[in-house]
Amino acid sequence: MDHTEIKELIEQLAVYCLGILVKSGFVSVEQINQSPWYVKLDEDGQLDKELFLAAASVDDQCRPFILFDANNQLEALAYAVPHEVIHLAQICKGDWLPCYGYSMWKGVRIERIKAEDPAYTTGQPWEAEAHAIDEDLRAKMYETFPMLK
């Protein structure tokens, strides 16, 4: 697959996962639709420097996006989609706002913790929340798209 096809597949998986999150009541359609979110591929290794396969953030115009390392295998990228879609939903709901060096979580400023830090998940509530539900979301995605496992 070329990068355009990978990006399109990730977008389709993201829409599928968002649909599940909407059905579960985690986020509303209105919250998702109020933000023109998008998917980007990291072709210059920015994520690799941070030890990430994928990440969710906002651009300079406060539009949420998910960034994926285009140099990974499709199965690895698909594995990351549910977790990053949860972050996308957190941004769309207004719960999480990633900023440079820190984040705002439900109105509280929390300093950024590096990925290799043992407190990365427990010290960042948006990560704790995403980790608490991403396995179930991933399992549902794999039920529909078993070839990506």
pLDDT at residue 96, as a whole number: 98
Kind of pairing, strands 96-98 and 54-58?
unpaired
What's residue 81's pLDDT?
Answer: 98
CA distance 31 to 47: 27
pLDDT > 80? residue 49: no
Summarised one tens digit per residue, pLDDT across range 67-123 is 999 888 899 999 999 999 999 999 999 999 999 889 999 999 999 998 889 999 999
Which amino acid, 37? Answer: W
| Token digits of residue 23 | 């059905």
pLDDT digits (tens, 9 = 90+) for 131-141: 999 999 999 99
- What local confidence, expressed as pLDDT, does residue 48 receive? 77
Which one-letter DSSP state was computed for residue 63? -
Give tens-digit pLDDT for 1-24. 899 999 999 999 999 999 999 999
Rounded to 5°, the CA angle 118-121-123 comes to 85
53 band by pLDDT with thresholds 50, 70 and 90: confident
pLDDT value of position 43: 79
Copy the structure tokens of residue 25. Answer: 């009541």
Q: Looking at the predicted structure, is the pLDDT value of residue 51 above 80?
A: no
Contact 56, 80 (CB under 8 A): no
In the predicted structure, residue 50 carries a pLDDT above the cut 80: no
Contact predicate 19/5, CB 8 Å: no
